[in-house]
Every structure is written in structure tokens, then in C-alpha cells.
Amino acid sequence: MAGVAPTLLPSPTGQEGNTVSSESGSAPVRVITFGTFDLFHIGHLNLIRRARALGDRLIVGVSSDELNRRKKGKRPAIAQDDRMAIVAGIRFVDEVFVEESLELKGDYIQQHRADILVMGDDWQGRFDHFGSLCKVVYLTRTPEVSSSGIVSTLRAAS
Ligand code: C2G
């Protein structure tokens, strides 16, 4: 909307993506996050930008259409391959892969050698058990924006 400032949340480190590096000589810090990222919006961008600022590389597991159907009983508005391409096109993202199952998170963390798991705080506490594999960080959700809210707005307008 013209004239409305975007809800850009500050990064948790006070720095933006691509500016934080691990100490010279040490291995790059690998951050992993997961999500459907349907109807990509500013809340998704904030989460991704702030996750990337916690390390040197950001790996994103994009939840498959089938996972959404099975676990959430809904079909994303944007198809899986397009959601993957959109997330892969974000400059803070280094790698994307398909998240086929919520139950495989521990495997994904290990396969991608993640040092930090980042999720929005709507998942607060739900992934603490992965603390034995990596650091677990929950970031504040961006208020007042969601994919389902966008769908409702469009429905109301039609
Ligand atoms: N998010 C946010 N602020 C919003 C909306 C979303 O910070 N206003 C964050 C969520 O907390 C999540 C990420 O953006 O960390 C992706 O959000 P969704 O696409 O809604 O993903 P979600 O349903 O949380 O799926 O394996 C985990 C699931 O697949 C996560």
C-alpha cells in the first residue's frame, strides 16, 4: 500500500544479513529454518533476514504441498516448486530443500549440519528437544500479517 512503512523488524544481532561472520578461521555458522512460505509476505522476509543474521549460511526447508495437506488439511495457494523458487531467490537464503515431513526435523538438522534452528515464536517451546543437536532460537513473529489474512482480505474484496 502506498505511503505505509513496511513492518521491518530489526535483526536479533542488531545487524542485517550478510554482515555477520563467524570468527576468522572457524567454521561458518549454519542456520536452518522451516516453513510453507505461502503467499510470501513481510513476516516471512523478516524471519528469513533475521535468521540469516544469526550465522553465515541460511538453509531453508520449504514444507511440501503433501505435508500441508496431510498435517494442516490445506493446499497452499502457491505450488511447492514456485514457493521453493521464491525462497531460493531471496538474497539471505543460501540453500533450499523440500521438507517432506514434520517428523524428520532432527534428520534435516543433522543432514544439513545446522548449528542453529530458527523458528517464529508461534512455535515457542515446541522444538526445544532439538537442543541436543543444535542451538534453538525462536524469533518474534511480525504482527498483523499472515498468508491466511491475505486470503481473507482478497476474499472480502471480491
Ligand atoms: N512468520 C513470522 N511472522 C509472520 C508470519 C510467519 O515470523 N507474521 C514466520 C513463522 O513463525 C515461521 C515462518 O515465518 O517461522 C514461516 O511461516 P509459515 O509459512 O506460516 O510456516 P509454518 O506454518 O510455521 O510452517 O516445519 C515447520 C512448519 O512447516 C512451519
Taking the CA of residue 119 as reference, the ligand 1 atom at the shortest distance is: 15
Are 145 and 7 in contact, with CB atoms under 8 Å apart? Answer: yes
Helix (H, G, I), strand (E, B) or coil at 48: helix
Residues with CB under 6 A from ligand 1: 34-38, 43-44, 46-47, 63, 99, 102, 119-120, 122, 141-142, 145-146
Residue 1's pLDDT is: 43
Grid cell, residue 132, equals: 541436543
Beta-bridge partner residues of 60: 33, 96
Rounded to the nearest angstrom, the distance between the alpha carbon of 120 and the centre of ligand 1 is 6
> Distance, CA 44 to ligand 1 centroid (Å)?
7
- CA atoms lying within 13 Å on the CB side of residue 132: 4
72 is catalytic: no
* pLDDT tens digits in sequence order for the chain, 158 residues long: 445 667 788 877 765 544 445 556 789 999 999 999 999 999 999 999 999 999 999 999 999 999 999 998 999 999 999 999 999 999 999 999 999 999 999 999 999 999 999 999 999 999 999 999 999 999 999 999 999 999 999 999 98
Report the predicted TM-score, pTM, of the whole model to 2 decimal places. 0.89
Q: Which atom of ligand 1 is nearest to the CA of 144?
A: 8
